[in-house]
Chain A
C-alpha cells in the first residue's frame, strides 16, 4: 500500500506506513534531506514544507494526510510554478546577498515559511513577519537578517510587478 502525492511537481508514491511522519519519508525514503529534523514536535519549524501552498511541519504530518496533495520542499521551492517559485528565488537571492545563514540548519524552514508569507502579503509589516516566522527557531539568532532578507526580497518583487 503506497501513498501517492505530488512532490516538487512530480508524482511520487511512498511505501512508508501512512502514519509515518512526512519528514522521515522525505529524508529517508525519498532522499530529500533539505527538510531538517530539529525537534520532532512542531516546535522549531526546521521541517517546514508546503502542502497545497500552506506551511506544514513535516515532523507531525502523517504521510497519509498528504495523499493526492501537492508537497513542496526546499529542493523544489525555487522551481515551483508562479508566485511561490518567484518568491522563493527572490528570498534565496536575498539570503545569499545578506549572508543570512550562520550554521544554516534552520534556514530551509525559514525560507519555506517566508515564501508563504511573501506570496500572501506583498509588503509585510514587522507584525506580519513576527506572526509568520514565530514558529521557526534559529539558535544562531540570525533573526535580524531573516527580517532584512524578507524585506529585500519583498521590495524587489514589488518592483518587478
Chain B
C-alpha cells in the first residue's frame, strides 16, 4: 500500500532517500521538504547511480558495515561495485539497535536485529525506482525487472541514477515485498568488504586520526589504584615542558593539555601527583582469588535447582570435581580509547569510534552542560573493541567530557588513553571461579551436577543492572552455565558476587568466555572418565538438532574418527552463545616451551542464514586467534596495593603470527534467522585446547592462562 503522506524528498540534491524506520503506521513526515531535513535514512542514490548506505552500527572490524550494506543492496538490486557506506550520526529515532532501543553494538545482535529493517529500506527504494521507471515509460511496474543497478522493461533501460530524482518525488511504500531467499544475489554469496582498500593504504579515518586547526592534545594522570583519587599535584615541572599549555584536575586525576601528543605525554611524565587511597581497592590478585574461592564454597543465589546431587551412584559411575580460576582479562583493542570534543557556541561536536553513539556523546554533553540535542557525533572507524568501547556507565564519555570542560576553550580537544592507561585502567573480563562436582554413569548419562561460581558482576551499580538482574542475579555472570546443551536430570547452579572497585565489563563472548570453558572442560573429563568418545558422548547428551549438526560436522571435517598424527591430540568443544552454534576441534602438541602448541582448528558454525560467508570465516579465524592468545598467555594481575602489573604488550602478551593456527571453517547452510558471529567463535577454543592437553599429558587445566597453570604444576 502506498500513502502519499509518507513521502520523503531531499530537495535539490537529485538524491533518493528512504525512511529509516519502515513501517511507522500513521506517522506523518511533514518536515520532508524543510531545509532542516535530517539524515533519517539508510539509503541514498545520487545521479551517477552511486548508492550510499547509512550504517547505524559501529564498524570495529566485525564487518557490520559491509553486512548492513549487503542487506540494503540485496533488496535494492544494486550493483555492489557502486555501493558505499557512511556512518550514521547520533540519532536513536532513526538508528537505534531495535533490540536495545539505542544505538549500540553488543551481544552479536547487529545482523539479527537489522535483518528485516535494512532489507525493507532497500526494497522500498527499489519499489520507488521501479515506479518512477513505470511512469516514465508508460508501462506497468510489474513489467519492470531490476538487476545490478539497472531497471529494464523491453527496450526501455535506465540505471538507478537516471531514475533517482523522479523516484524521490514518489510516495514511500509502507510494506514493500521482500525477496524470497532463492532470489538472493548478494546474501550468502560474495560481497567483498567495502573498507579493505582504505584500511590497506592508511586512508581510513579512525578517531585518533582526527585533526583540527589549533587542536589541543590531552592525556590524564590516572589514579594508580582503582578507586583512588588525586590528593595534591604540582604542575610546575609539567608546565615547563615545551608545548604544554595547561594542567588541571579532571575526574579522579589530573589532565595535561598540550600542542602535540608528544608534549602532553612529556608533561604527564613530569607531573607530580600524590594520591588518596581512601576507599580504593588495595587487595592483590591472590587476596581477591582467595575471597572468590571462599564465596564459591557457599551455596550462593540459586539460579538453577532441578534436584540434588544423587546420594548414591550406580556401579561404574564416576565423579569428577573441578575448581576453576579464570583470570581478569583486558580487551586491549589495537586503537586505545580516544575522542575529540569541541565545544563552541553552545554546541558540542564529537569525533569518536563510538559503540554507544547516542549514550556516549550524551555523557560528554552532560559534563559540559550542553543539551542532548546540541551534540553531534561524527562517527569514525574504531580500531577494535572486543567489548571495551561499550561500558554501561559510559565512564570514558564522562571522563572525556570532564577533560574538555576543564580545558574550557573553544578549541577541539583530543583526549587519549595510552596503552598503559588502557591495560591498567580496568573494565576487564572479571576473574571468575567455578567449583563443579558432576557424576556420569558408565553409559554416558550425566547423573548429577553441582555448580557454584563467584566473581564480580558486570552490571552491579550500572544503569544496566535492572535489566540484567530481573531474576535476582546477574544473568551475564551465569549465561552459558544456566542453560547447558546437555541432558542433566539433577542440576544445581549457585552464584555469589564478589564486591570490588575493579571496573569490569563484557569481553568478547561475555559469560560464555568462562562458563563455556568450565562446562566443556567438565564434559570432556566426564566422558573421558568413563571411556566414551568425546563426540559420540556429546551427541548422546544433546537434544538440539542444530547443536548436534555442528558437533557432527566439526568432527567430520577434522577427521575425528581417523588416526592422529604423531605427538598430536585432537581436543573437542561445543558452545552455543548468542543464538549461534559452534563446535571446534583443536589439534595440539607440546610446544618447545612446554605450553600447548595449537596447529589447526576445525570449526563448524550455524549462525542462521549466512549473510556473508567470507566474513563469517574471517570472524571465526579472528575469534579463534583472539581466544588462543588469551588462553595460552594472557592475564591481568593486581600486585601490591592493587596496582596492575601489566602495563603494555610486553607483559600482556598478544598472539603473534607464528602462533596463529590454521583454521578450517564449515558454515552450516541454515535457513534460520541470522544470529551473531562476532563473539561465538571464542568460547569453544580454550576448552578444546584443554581437551587435547589432557589427552597429551593427563593434566586437567583448571586455571587460565595455560602457561601459568603448566608452570605452577611443574613447580
Binding site for B on A (CB under 8 A): 16-17, 20-21, 24-25, 27-29, 31-41, 43-44, 46, 73-75, 77-78, 91-92, 95-97, 99-108, 111, 129-130, 133-134, 136-147
Residues of A within 8 A of B614 (CB): 99
- A-B contacts, 23 of them at CB < 8 A, read A32-B202, A34-B201, A39-B648, A40-B265, A40-B419, A40-B420, A77-B201, A92-B200, A101-B61, A103-B383, A103-B384, A105-B334, A105-B383, A107-B200, A130-B658, A134-B657, A136-B657, A137-B655, A139-B333, A139-B654, A140-B384, A141-B660, A142-B625
Residues of A within 8 A of B382 (CB): 103
Given known contacts A24-B260, A106-B334, what 7 new A-B pairs fall within 8 Å (CB)? A38-B419, A43-B649, A101-B193, A130-B657, A134-B657, A139-B333, A146-B657
B203 an interface residue at 8 Å Cβ cutoff? yes
CA distance A102 to B204 in the complex (A): 12
Residues of A within 8 A of B333 (CB): 103, 105, 139
Looking across the interface, which residue of chain B has its beta carbon closest to that of A92? Answer: B200
Q: How many A-B residue pairs have CB under 8 A?
A: 192
Q: Is the CB of A139 within 8 A of B626?
A: yes
Q: How far is the CB of A116 from chain B (nearest CB, A)?
A: 15
- Asked, given contacts A16-B262, A139-B333, A139-B384, whether A74 binds B618 with beta carbons under 8 Å apart, the answer is no
Q: How far is the CB of A73 from chain B (nearest CB, A)?
A: 7
The 3 closest A-B pairs by CB, nearest first: A34-B202, A141-B625, A105-B383
Q: Is the CB of B206 within 8 A of A105?
A: yes
Looking across the interface, which residue of chain A has its beta carbon closest to that of B202? Answer: A34
Contact of B662 among A20, A73, A144 (CB under 8 A): A144
Residues of B within 8 A of A103 (CB): 60-61, 333-335, 381-385
CA distance A122 to B631 in the complex (A): 35
Q: How far is the CB of B666 from chain A (nearest CB, A)?
A: 16
Contact of B657 among A17, A31, A36, A143 (CB under 8 A): A143
Contact of B649 among A44, A92, A100 (CB under 8 A): A44
Q: How far is the CB of B126 from chain A (nearest CB, A)?
A: 27
B209 an interface residue at 8 Å Cβ cutoff? yes
Q: Classify the interface of chain B: helix, strand, loop or mixed.
A: loop
Contact of B61 among A21, A104, A133 (CB under 8 A): A104
Q: Is the CB of A74 within 8 A of B262?
A: no
Q: How far is the CB of B676 from chain A (nearest CB, A)?
A: 15
Residues of A within 8 A of B193 (CB): 99, 101
- Asked, given contacts A21-B262, A29-B260, A103-B334, whether A141 binds B626 with beta carbons under 8 Å apart, the answer is yes
Q: Is the CB of A96 within 8 A of B200?
A: yes
Which interface residue of B193, B217, B420, B629 has the most chain A CB atoms within 10 A? B193
Residues of B within 8 A of A32 (CB): 202
B242 an interface residue at 8 Å Cβ cutoff? yes
Residues of A within 8 A of B658 (CB): 130, 134
CA distance A73 to B206 in the complex (A): 17
Looking across the interface, which residue of chain A has its beta carbon closest to that of B649? Answer: A43
B113 an interface residue at 8 Å Cβ cutoff? no
CA distance A141 to B385 in the complex (A): 13
Q: Is the CB of A44 within 8 A of B334?
A: yes
CA distance A103 to B625 in the complex (A): 14
Q: Classify the interface of chain A: helix, strand, loop or mixed.
A: loop
Contact of A95 among B61, B196, B624 (CB under 8 A): B196
CA distance A34 to B198 in the complex (A): 10
Q: Is the CB of A34 within 8 A of B203?
A: yes
CA distance A144 to B63 in the complex (A): 17
Residues of B within 8 A of A138 (CB): 334, 625, 657
CA distance A77 to B201 in the complex (A): 8
Q: Is the CB of B334 within 8 A of A46?
A: yes
CA distance A106 to B202 in the complex (A): 10
Q: How far is the CB of B602 from chain A (nearest CB, A)?
A: 14
Residues of A within 8 A of B42 (CB): none
Contact of B618 among A21, A28, A35, A142 (CB under 8 A): A142
Q: Is the CB of A141 within 8 A of B655?
A: yes
Residues of B within 8 A of A20 (CB): 260, 262
Contact of A38 among B209, B335, B623, B625 (CB under 8 A): B335
Residues of A within 8 A of B654 (CB): 44, 137, 139
Q: How far is the CB of A149 from chain B (nearest CB, A)?
A: 9
Q: Is the CB of A104 within 8 A of B211?
A: no
- Asked, given contacts A103-B333, A134-B658, A145-B621, whether A24 binds B626 with beta carbons under 8 Å apart, the answer is no
Q: How far is the CB of A78 from chain B (nearest CB, A)?
A: 7
CA distance A41 to B384 in the complex (A): 20
CA distance A137 to B634 in the complex (A): 14
CA distance A7 to B335 in the complex (A): 25
B62 an interface residue at 8 Å Cβ cutoff? yes
CA distance A39 to B660 in the complex (A): 21
Looking across the interface, which residue of chain A has its beta carbon closest to that of B626? Answer: A141
Residues of B within 8 A of A137 (CB): 334, 649, 654-656
Contact of B626 among A35, A136, A140 (CB under 8 A): A140
Residues of A within 8 A of B626 (CB): 139-141
Contact of B196 among A24, A99, A143, A146 (CB under 8 A): A99
Looking across the interface, which residue of chain B has its beta carbon closest to that of A28? Answer: B260
Q: How far is the CB of B610 from chain A (nearest CB, A)?
A: 15
CA distance A29 to B259 in the complex (A): 10
Looking across the interface, which residue of chain A has its beta carbon closest to that of B62? Answer: A102
CA distance A138 to B648 in the complex (A): 15
Residues of B within 8 A of A27 (CB): 209, 261
Task: Please report which residues of chain B, range 46-82, place their CB below 8 angstroms from some CB of chain A when the two chains form the complex.
Answer: 60-63
Contact of B209 among A33, A107, A133, A147 (CB under 8 A): A33
Q: How far is the CB of B632 from chain A (nearest CB, A)?
A: 13
Residues of A within 8 A of B132 (CB): none
- Asked, given contacts A134-B656, A140-B384, whether A35 binds B649 with beta carbons under 8 Å apart, the answer is no
